[in-house]
Amino acid sequence: MPTEQIDMVIQQGADFEYVHEKEDIAGSLIDNVTAVATLREGIGGTVIATWSTANGFISKSQHGNHIDFAIQVPAATTSGLTAPLSGVYDLDISYDGALGAWTVRHAEGAFYITPNV
């Protein structure tokens, strides 16, 4: 499945949530799947934020026979982001289990942080 091209608007000082549906990974693999979203100032630029299943900003849930990944960032965290700011991000999904190990880029695009005025 090709990488999804999705832009995200993040409001500074507000809760941010975006759900990514990964249809080509069986829901039964959920225990061995992780996700990481990396926001950068530009391609190869400074990292603005890293949100992942490991640090609790991405949750995963089985939805039918596939997995949903919900990026959930509280207002207390988005208030610390510089705004206005734009850059690029990618969302990588990894599997490490009985079927081997692999990583795919599920989504990529631009992000925009709008200021709290």
pLDDT in tens, 5-62: 999 999 999 999 999 888 878 888 889 999 999 999 999 999 999 999 999 999 999 9
Average pLDDT, the chain: 93
The answer on pLDDT for 1 being more than 80 is: no
The answer on pLDDT for 93 being more than 70 is: yes
| pTM exceeding the 0.75 threshold for the entire prediction | yes
Tokens 């609790």, residue located = 56
Candidates 8, 20, 19; CA nearest to 49 is 8
Is 84 in contact with 113 (CB distance < 8 Å)?
A: yes
Query: Both tokens of residue 98?
Result: 């009985």
| Strand-pair partners of 48 | none
Number of H helices, E strands in the chain: 1, 9
Q: What are the chain's domains?
A: 4-114 (2.60.40.10)
Round to whole Å and give the CA distance between 109 and 39: 10
